[in-house]
């Protein structure tokens, strides 16, 4: 599903020549991995490379047998809309639209006609994530962070992606909702054979995964040791 080789990346204004140095990393079809690590060490940056939001300064990124590092930014946007569901750490919901409208927008951008979802599908998904009719009818800026997080999860799932990337998707949820959402995400990923890259600081969630990896094992950049835990 994903193959990274000789990846190096740094932000243009970064004092370091390389912030990510990943000799090799891969994820098989239908595999689920849980990644954890210190704050500021590049987990979100890594997920942005996997999804084509960023491009590496060096190396190759293969996702679903397509070379992301060779695509234009427009091609990467299209590829992401068609193949990847991404729950962003900062959610990126449109604040003045309600949950249904935010999710419909993601469905609208899907290039696949069979992935197009009806309002009924969207409501069903939101119900499975413990959202009420009252909650999904309000502009998302009026929802609590935990409610917004569930909308962002629904939006990532609506196009039935083959790869789901989730960046701290449960950080604002109470333990009851965390359990519901984790069970739902895991069973949906299994039944739809979705590959899952899941980043979290909450090590108790590692129990849901067979594969658990500290980010320091992925990123070989030596200064990573200087990063601090939250
Ligand atoms: N757009 C940007 N431009 C320049 N530097 C950035 C940018 N985004 C992140 N960084 C820097 O890159 C490093 C890694 O950031 P990143 O967000 O990937 O960390 P993280 O592991 O996801 O942290 P957290 O656990 O707090 O979410 C940080 O030092 C951060 O300051
Ligand atoms: Mg992050």
Tokens of 202: 């909450």
* Segment 144-160, tens digit of pLDDT: 999 999 999 999 999 88
Task: Tell me the pTM.
Answer: 0.92
Class of domain 2-223: alpha beta
Q: CB within 6 Å of ligand 1 — which residues?
A: 11, 13-14, 19, 39-45, 89
3-state secondary structure of 196: strand
* Segment 54-96, tens digit of pLDDT: 999 999 999 999 999 999 999 999 999 999 999 999 999 999 9
Q: Please give the pLDDT value at position 17.
A: 67
Q: Which ligand is nearest to the CA of 201?
A: 1
Rg (CA), the chain: 17
Return the best residue to mutate from 15, 44, 172 for the ligand 1 pocket (most ligand atoms within 8 A of CB).
Answer: 44
Q: Do residues 2 and 33 touch, judged by C-beta distance below 8 A?
A: no
Tokens of 132: 């009420």
Per domain, the residue ranges of the chain are 2-223
How far is CA 208 from each of CA 77, 121, 185, 205, rounded to the nearest angstrom?
A: 30, 26, 10, 6
| Distance (Å, whole) CA 155 – CA 221 | 33
């Amino acid at each position: 599903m994903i193959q990274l080789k000789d990846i190096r990346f740094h932000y243009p204004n970064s004092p370091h020549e390389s912030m990510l140095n990943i000799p090799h990393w891969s994820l098989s079809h239908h595999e689920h991995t849980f990644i954890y690590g210190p704050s500021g060490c590049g987990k979100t940056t890594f997920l942005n490379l996997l999804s084509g939001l960023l491009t590496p300064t060096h190396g190759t990124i293969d996702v679903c047998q397509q070379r992301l590092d060779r695509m234009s930014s427009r091609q990467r946007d299209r590829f992401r809309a068609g193949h990847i569901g991404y729950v962003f750490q900062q959610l990126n919901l449109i604040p003045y639209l309600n949950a249904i409208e935010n999710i419909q927008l993601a469905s609208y951008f899907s290039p696949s006609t069979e992935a197009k979802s009806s309002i009924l599908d969207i409501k069903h998904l939101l119900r499975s994530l413990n959202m009420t009719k009252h909650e999904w009818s309000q502009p998302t800026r009026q929802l609590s962070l935990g409610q917004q997080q569930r909308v962002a999860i629904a939006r990532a799932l609506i196009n039935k992606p083959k790869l789901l990337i989730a960046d701290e998707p449960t950080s604002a949820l109470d333990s009851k909702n965390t359990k519901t959402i984790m069970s739902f995400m895991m069973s949906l990923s299994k039944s739809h054979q979705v590959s899952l890259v899941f980043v979290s600081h909450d090590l108790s969630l590692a129990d849901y995964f067979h594969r658990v990896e500290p980010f320091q094992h992925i990123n070989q950049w030596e200064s990573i040791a200087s990063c601090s835990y939250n």
